[in-house]
Amino acid sequence: MANPLVRFWLDGEERQGPLGVPVGLVLYGQGERVLGWNEVTGQPRGLYCGIGHCFECRLEIDGVRDQRACLVPLAAGMRVCRQVPPTPLAFEDAP
């Protein structure tokens, strides 16, 4: 029996996904490859290990930053946001 579909939001956009499936897998299945950006280089990041080890899939979920999307099961009404990368390190631009 398939998991029921529930509504959730990604960066404010309404989506549907199967209840209980890891958020990262749901988003991957919907074509989302970029889940965030490296804090230092600004390079896009996404699912990599899929088992909670690499931390490349971090998202803000229901207001809590740095949740590993590959481990958090989708729930109805979830608010999922890609985390905005910080500005590049200030000392790189210092004279």
Minimal distance in Å, beta carbon 5 to ligand FES? 23
The smaller minimum CB distance to ligand FES, of residues 21 and 91, is found at: 21
Residues at the contact surface with ligand FES, assessed by CB under 6 A: 24, 47-50, 52-57, 68, 70
Give the helix/strand (H/E) hosting 7: strand 5-10
**18 contacts 86 by C-beta, under 8 angstroms:** no
Minimal distance in Å, beta carbon 31 to ligand FES? 17
Q: For residue 51, what is the DSSP state?
A: S
Q: Using alpha carbons only, how large is the chain's radius of gyration in Å?
A: 15
**79 contacts 62 by C-beta, under 8 angstroms:** yes
Minimal distance in Å, beta carbon 66 to ligand FES? 11
- In 1-95, where does DSSP find H-type helix? 23-29
The smaller minimum CB distance to ligand FES, of residues 6 and 22, is found at: 22
The smaller minimum CB distance to ligand FES, of residues 8 and 28, is found at: 28
